[in-house]
Structures are given as C-alpha cells and as structure tokens.
Amino acid sequence: MPKSNDQKHFFIYALVRTDGKTDYHNVDMGQFEDVVSNAVYYGLTQNPQKRLSQHRPKKGSDIGMVVIDQCDHPLMALKLEADYTYDHFEQTGKIPELQGMANSGVYK
C-alpha cells in the first residue's frame, strides 16, 4: 500500500461500502470509474492506512479505502478531491453519502 514519507505527496481516495466488516488494512488502489457506484466519501491524505483507521470508527466497519489518484502539490490535491466529488454527483445524481460529515452536513 502506498505511504509517502515526502511531505509534498498526496493520495486522493474514495471510501467505499463493502459487503461486510473490513479490517483496518483494507486499502486498495483503483480507478474512479470502478468505485463511483459504491463510494460514500472522497478525501485526501499523505498516509492512507492511518487515515482509514481514523475514518472507520466514525463511518462504519464496512468501509474500505481505494486510492484513486496522487499528486505532489497540496492545491492540486484539493482540486482533485473536489473534482472527484463533483464527478460523483454528475454520474450518480447524488452527493456522496458521508461527504458532509466533516462539514456538519453543509452539502445536504
């Protein structure tokens, strides 16, 4: 699994619902097109494993993480996160189920 020791390297990820309980190591790499139908949240991190362990207690034990992109600039990482969230809305007609949690439901 990717992990960056470089403070300028970012991973853009989707949290996806799975069929059952996952462990804290359920991080994979994939493409947006393959996860959009099960994605419930998009985010960015420099350490996917650590970030998943922070998400699971709040978002559920049936959550897995799929890294869908990466870049080397913090502003590009923010743009990609927003682009994937918007693309999700465009393709499904819905805001990712858990996207507003960090913003107290601002997207709902």
Q: What is the tens place of the pLDDT at every residue in 1-41? A: 455 555 679 999 999 988 877 666 778 899 999 999 999 99
Q: What is the domain range of residue 85?
A: 10-100
Q: How many domains would you assign to the chain?
A: 1
In a domain, 4, yes or no: no
Q: Is residue 67 part of a domain?
A: yes
pLDDT in tens, 40-99: 999 999 999 888 888 776 766 788 899 999 999 999 999 999 999 999 999 999 999 999
Question: DSSP readout, the chain?
Answer: -----STT-EEEEEEEE-SS---TT-EEE--HHHHTTTEEEEEEES-HHHHHHHHHHHH-TTEEEEEEEEES-HHHHHHHHHHHHHHHHHHHSS--TTGGGGGTTTT-
- 93 or 100, higher pLDDT: 93
Residue 103 has pLDDT above 60, yes or no: no
